[in-house]
Structure 1
């Protein structure tokens, strides 16, 4: 069996540490995401899911605990090592698309590849392939302002996949969309992930979407708890 893509062990995070107003956001979180597994992270607002995703994606560091990425212990690693791992192995998707407004959909997906040393022809071919897979290939040369919300988020998915990451982290990726569009866009995301061997940790409030993933974990009061039967069963 291949090694887990992501392992979080005893992750603790406190803000305003040592002050009367300190807030313990995460309390000894343990989580493993295996290769090819899509895990739903459900949590009430303010429970710490965004903080957990930032720590998992090496954008933040825990006060205690360890983060292993593809078998490599990232605890105490320097900024250069963490940046290289993020650039090569991790893709991020947020609730808002954060596309570069002055560039087309195609350019938003090719630019990360060019920055990673990929030739322009290869980058353009991959970008067009990704856009085609999520059904917006005909919108490749439109800037974000000319795209609908659902189209913008599909392009953001493609950008996150541009450098063929091993781990995808998504924070409420359809939370800014109406229910019908959310369902369609989430389906596009699952189509992108399917068959790639990519691992994903996707935070969502939408329990119908969560039930379509391989496994559901719930974050409450800073700790992971067992998901209910309703959360782990579609329908």
Structure 2
């Protein structure tokens, strides 16, 4: 039985910076993530990996190819439907935490749930459970400026998981941290992904971290190949 959470077939993307300066970044990307699978993506800077992750997360559109999330084709979806799929089925973690500075750690995790229609009480309970799972229950009322880099990134991971997505996309999630903190945050991320059974595509420059995942792929000349 096909239990793919993310399917990309022949994905192409070109940025038209004026016709003479058109740049094709993706040249027919094929990639499938099965449920519960963690795949590492390695690629040099400027290779298009962020573009690929943005397409997979419905933050950008592709020019050609096919894409499905949990078996649902997304190419023809209107903006509202794309937003709903992204909100309900996809979590995104960036290199920088991008937490809202005026809100506490708890509130940053509550907000995406409230946007999805979850009650305030249920959203707060879910946020506290997630913070507890990463050892930050005591920091729930702290704002991002009061958190260390590693703590803020843990909160960002919790926020990405708040709506129980099928797919987690992470773009250099430990790239802004020192080596010791990077290892701690990565171990936490892997444990959460394993515990929830979701699928994850994690881009990283760290080859050692990449090879701790189920599979490692490389973006090379706009195509995905085994690393």
TM-score higher than 0.5: yes
Moved >4 Å (runs of 4+): none
1:2 CA displacement: 4.6
Cα deviation, 1:103-146, whole Å, max 9, x if unaligned, reads 10011101111121111221111111111111111111100000
Question: Equivalences for 1:1-235 in 2 at 5 Å?
Answer: 1-16=1-16, 19-227=19-227
Structure 2 counterpart SS, 1:168: strand
Note if contact 1:28-1:223 (Cα within 8 Å) is conserved in structure 2.
yes
User: Cα RMSD over matched residues?
Assistant: 1.1
Structure 2 counterpart SS, 1:141: coil
Provide closer, same or farther for how the CA distance between residues 152 and 194 of structure 1 changes in structure 2, counting only shifts above 3 A. Answer: same
Cα deviation, 1:58-98, whole Å, max 9, x if unaligned, reads 11111111111111111121111111100110001100111
1:3 CA displacement: 2.2
CA distance in 2, matches of 1:225, 1:126: 38
Unmatched runs of 5 consecutive residues or more in structure 2: none
1:162 CA displacement: 0.3
1:195 CA displacement: 2.7
CA distance in 2, matches of 1:164, 1:2: 21
CA distance in 1, matches of 2:197, 2:176: 27
Unmatched runs of 5 consecutive residues or more in structure 1: 228-235
Of the structure 1 ranges 76-85 and 41-50, higher mean CA displacement relative to structure 2 is found in: 76-85
Task: Name 1:232's counterpart in structure 2.
Answer: none
Note if contact 1:106-1:124 (Cα within 8 Å) is conserved in structure 2.
yes
Structure 2 counterpart SS, 1:159: helix
Give the paired residue count.
Answer: 227
CA distance in 2, matches of 1:67, 1:73: 6
CA distance in 1, matches of 2:170, 2:42: 12
Provide closer, same or farther for how the CA distance between residues 145 and 17 of structure 1 changes in structure 2, counting only shifts above 3 A. Answer: closer
CA distance in 2, matches of 1:138, 1:99: 18
Note if contact 1:2-1:35 (Cα within 8 Å) is conserved in structure 2.
no
